[in-house]
Amino acid sequence: MNTTQEVWHAGELAAQARAGVKKKMSSIGPRVIRNYMPTEHREFFTSQSLVIVGSEDKKGDLWASPIFGHPGFIQSPTAKLLAIDTSAFYSHLVFPQLNIGHQVGLLGIDFETRRRNRLNGVVTEKNKHHISIKVQQSFGNCPQYIQQRRIEIQPQRGQITRTFLSSWSSRLREFIARADTCFIASAYAVPHADESAGMDVSHRGGQPGFIGFDEHDRLTIPDYRGNFFFNTVGNLTEDPRAGLLFLDFSEGLIITLTMTAEVIWKTENPILCGGYERVIRLSLKGGYLIRNALPLIGNSG
């Protein structure tokens, strides 16, 4: 079984202490975060058509990216291994950089059942047919804030195009203002080898408008009360790099952004935080708007 020291890293422990839950989480963490996948997690990943991946590019920037294929394109040969069939991918244009030795975070999410499972690991094998990922941490999340919708695979809509983003266009602002879902990639001490280090990607959801802009064109995302793991908040406390992903199921758009982030606590800025204990504030470094790249449609439930 994992020890407390192996489960939580310094950033997570600091956030838990600040929130007054460090003692509580010291006993919960080793019970719910494993270095292997239980059977139900293995079955869940192999049944998915969409998985979100957190990865680092050659420049050290972080990205959150979708990978998708027909259910079964991900397999779990053992409880400590995931194998992804790269030949089953759609939209290679958005394929994240997953090279041997690289840390990676995976989020499997089923919008219809509102179930999600997380996996953090390292790429151990890569060839033209598949990528293997060794599990370092595996855990589930509650269904809070997941906006329910039914996702179906459909033929791609046209030629995939990618536009570089260096600033917020009016259309991009409008899209983010009405978004009810995003995904955020973060990292902690990626070069280190201990079990608590690595890449992570998590879900953020709420009613349309829960993501805003401040007066300096920085995104603000409230950190809702959750499971007190503080994976994302703990990572960003130690490492400001972040990747943000939006999926537009109605138009087939993917918006993926690399950013710098900071965690603002209510004790530091009560006006910004309002009714929330923490806010994540992100500044844009760059990104891509990718059209016709999402072979999925989603209808709100």
Residues 86-140: pLDDT tens digits?
Answer: 876 655 555 677 888 999 999 998 888 888 899 999 999 988 788 999 999 999 8
For 46, 175, 237, the CA distances from 242, given in Å and listed in that order, are: 27, 20, 11
Residue 141 has pLDDT above 80, yes or no: no
Class in CATH terms, 4-300: mainly beta
The reported pTM is: 0.90
Percent of the chain at pLDDT exceeding 90: 52
Of residues 107 and 197, more confidence is placed in: 107
Residue 155 has pLDDT above 90, yes or no: no
Closest CA to 253 of 181, 180, 160, 164: 160
Distance CA 301, CA 195 (A): 38
Q: What is the pLDDT of residue 152?
A: 73
Q: What is the pLDDT of residue 211?
A: 94
Structural tokens at position 273 = 């935080």
- pLDDT tens-place string over residues 229-286: 899 999 999 999 999 999 988 888 899 999 999 999 998 999 898 888 899 999 999 9
Of residues 226 and 135, more confidence is placed in: 135
Closest CA to 116 of 52, 62, 67, 71: 52
- pLDDT mean across residues, the chain: 86
SS3 41: helix
Residue 38 has pLDDT above 70, yes or no: yes
Residue 209 has pLDDT above 60, yes or no: yes
Which residues does residue 196 pair with via DSSP β-bridges, in sequence order? none
For 73, 112, 164, the CA distances from 90, given in Å and listed in that order, are: 11, 21, 21
